[in-house]
Amino acid sequence: MQTLKHDLVVIGGGPAGLAAAIAAKEAGCDDVLLIERDRRLGGILNQCIHDGFGLHRFGKALTGPEYAQHFIDRLDALAIQRMLGTIVLSMEGGHVLHISSKTGFRRISAGAVILGMGCRERTAGAICLPGTRPAGIYTAGAAQTFINLQNIMIGKRIVILGSGDIGLIMARRLTLEGAEVEAVFEILPYASGLPRNIQQCLNDYGIPLYLSTSVIDIHGKERVTGVTVAEIGPDRRPVPGTERHVACDTLLLSVGLIPENELTRGADILIESRTSGAYVDDAFMTSRPGVFSCGNVLHVHDLVDYVSEEAETVGRNTAAFLKGDMRPAESHIDIKPGNGVGYVLPQRVGGEKDFVLSLRVSEPFRNRAVLVREGKRKVKRKKMVRLHPAEMIRMNVKVDKIQDAMSLEVSVE
């Protein structure tokens, strides 16, 4: 089998892979190869024809393809090598990649690797959805692919389970395409999508959102004819007597995303159970030296602007690693989530430079503060009016505040 050699291989041509490859090349890494299994670059953005991308970065609401094109143009201008229609099948020891394309199987030996494989949606099986499986059950992203990329309408009378952002966006899209969206049912007592999407995709179109409610049965033999929904109690069980039938021909699932880390696991890279992504330090380096991770494969982002920013940092760090400018830290400070915090990222830092701490709260709060502390010593405190699991919180932490720290805990006060 042919073995190719490259200084840096970036896996995935979505916004994370694109920004990381560009930043690495701009930081002096000349031999960058980007591998994408699809026939085109852009990742999930290609199917997101709604606007709302790039508000932070470009100060305007771009569509997904417009946002991606900005990076593809820069990739072209820098003449960064790419292999499209090529899938990375496995990573041996993190640095030897086995790839497959129309031209056959090949091996690539890489000085450094950036993981940018994105994530996939939870399916009916993944959430153990009760009931039968007639035609008419789609994940929201699959429905988006059918409608936006293949011009295929998926149904006329729709029920959406889960209030994740993709489901909310599809509620609006389906309404605009002439379907009747009966309701969105959410098992949690709060919506899991961004407040702006609740307003713009449901409220503006009069689509009801029922919280603490879930689908407990699916009806129909060939095609979905309806679902039974019921209120869900604090014990996470259906409340007896609250069951009702909702007629529909389509059930859309918007019940969460799973970072696509099969390659990462296969290379024995440590995975953090809270993010389902790699365990990383403040350089976004995984437990395998020279393998970095960014974007949705690392942790699910709500805004693509932050994906690009994170990936650019990773690209620069990888270039520094390849130049030998990145010294391994002599010791590490572990960062742990405490009360009210779902996850933190990075999970450990070298304590030699300032870093950005990303986190999500585990439930909604109002008028609270996020506190970073070492034992009883306060390192950083950020007061916030609204804290919501759907919105990632970012905090800059100064290195002089963590001198001599052994570990840090982040909690909601």
Ligand X SMILES: Cc1cc2nc3c(=O)[nH]c(=O)nc-3n(C[C@H](O)[C@H](O)[C@H](O)COP(=O)(O)OP(=O)(O)OC[C@H]3O[C@@H](n4cnc5c(N)ncnc54)[C@H](O)[C@@H]3O)c2cc1C
Coil, helix or strand for 248? Answer: coil
CA distance 155 to 152: 9
| Residue nearer to ligand X on the CB measure, 18 or 285 | 18
Q: Which of 353, 356, 346, 347 is nearest to 382 (CA)?
A: 356
Q: Which stretch binds ligand X (CB under 6 A): 26-34, 104-112, 204-212, 295-303?
A: 295-303
Asked if 248 and 226 touch (Cβ cutoff 8 Å), the reply is yes
Q: Which stretch binds ligand X (CB under 6 A): 10-18, 126-134, 208-216, 400-408?
A: 10-18
Is residue 15 near ligand X by the rule CB under 6 A?
yes
Instruction: Kindly identify the residues of this chain, within the stretch 94-153, that bind ligand X according to CB under 6 A.
Output: 116-118, 141, 144
Sheet with 407-412: list strands edge to edge. Answer: 348-349, 333-337, 407-412, 365-374, 377-387
Q: Which of 8, 51, 55, 58 is nearest to 33 (CA)?
A: 8
| Residue nearer to ligand X on the CB measure, 233 or 342 | 342
| Residue nearer to ligand X on the CB measure, 179 or 232 | 179
Residue by residue, DSSP assigns 34-80 as: EE-SSSSSSGGGGG--SEEESTTTTSS-EEHHHHHHHHHHHHHHTT-
Strands 137-139 and 250-253: parallel
| Residue nearer to ligand X on the CB measure, 43 or 351 | 43
Instruction: Report, in Å, the least distance between residue 243 CB and ligand X.
Output: 31
Hey, what are 89's tokens? 């099948």
Number of residues that bind ligand X (CB under 6 A): 36
Is residue 11 near ligand X by the rule CB under 6 A?
yes
Residue by residue, DSSP assigns 330-351 as: SS-EEEEE-TTEEEEESSEE-S
- Answer for which of 16, 147, 191, 410 binds ligand X (CB under 6 A) is 16
| Residue nearer to ligand X on the CB measure, 17 or 94 | 17
Instruction: Kindly identify the residues of this chain, within the stretch 29-68, that bind ligand X according to CB under 6 A.
Output: 35-38, 43-45, 48, 52-53
Instruction: Report, in Å, the least distance between residue 302 CB and ligand X.
Output: 7
- Answer for which of 78, 87, 329, 356 binds ligand X (CB under 6 A) is 87
CA distance 339 to 322: 39
Instruction: Report, in Å, the least distance between residue 216 CB and ligand X.
Output: 26
Q: Is 375 left (phi over 0), alpha (psi -120 to 50) or beta?
A: left
- Answer for which of 142, 307, 335, 372 binds ligand X (CB under 6 A) is 307
Q: H-type helices in 229-385, by residue range?
A: 262-266, 304-323
In sequence order, the 6+-apart residues with CB closer than 8 A to the CB of 293 are 114, 115, 116, 264, 277, 278, 280, 284, 286, 314
- Answer for which of 94, 193, 238, 295 binds ligand X (CB under 6 A) is 295
Asked if 269 and 297 touch (Cβ cutoff 8 Å), the reply is no
In sequence order, the 6+-apart residues with CB closer than 8 A to the CB of 170 are 140, 143, 144, 147, 160, 252, 254
- Answer for which of 17, 193, 226, 350 binds ligand X (CB under 6 A) is 17
Instruction: Kindly identify the residues of this chain, within the stretch 162-201, that bind ligand X according to CB under 6 A.
Output: 165-166, 169
Instruction: Report, in Å, the least distance between residue 45 CB and ligand X.
Output: 5
Instruction: Report, in Å, the least distance between residue 39 CB and ligand X.
Output: 10
- Positive or negative, the CA dihedral 272, 260, 412, 403 is positive
Q: Is 288 left (phi over 0), alpha (psi -120 to 50) or beta?
A: beta
What angle in degrees, to the nearest 10, is found between the helix axes of 64-77 and 304-323? 20
| Residue nearer to ligand X on the CB measure, 284 or 365 | 284
| Residue nearer to ligand X on the CB measure, 263 or 408 | 263
> Nearest residue by C-beta to ligand X?
14
Per-residue contact track with ligand X, 247 to 286, x per CB under 6 A?
-------------x--x-----------------------
| Residue nearer to ligand X on the CB measure, 60 or 245 | 60
Is residue 319 near ligand X by the rule CB under 6 A?
no
| Residue nearer to ligand X on the CB measure, 117 or 160 | 117
- Answer for which of 8, 158, 207, 303 binds ligand X (CB under 6 A) is 303
Whether the ω angle into residue 346 lies within 30 degrees of 0, i.e. cis, is yes
Asked if 65 and 144 touch (Cβ cutoff 8 Å), the reply is no
Instruction: Report, in Å, the least distance between residue 236 CB and ligand X.
Output: 26
Q: Which residues bind ligand X (CB under 6 A)?
A: 11-17, 35-38, 43-45, 48, 52-53, 87-88, 116-118, 141, 144, 165-166, 169, 260, 263, 295-297, 301, 303-304, 307
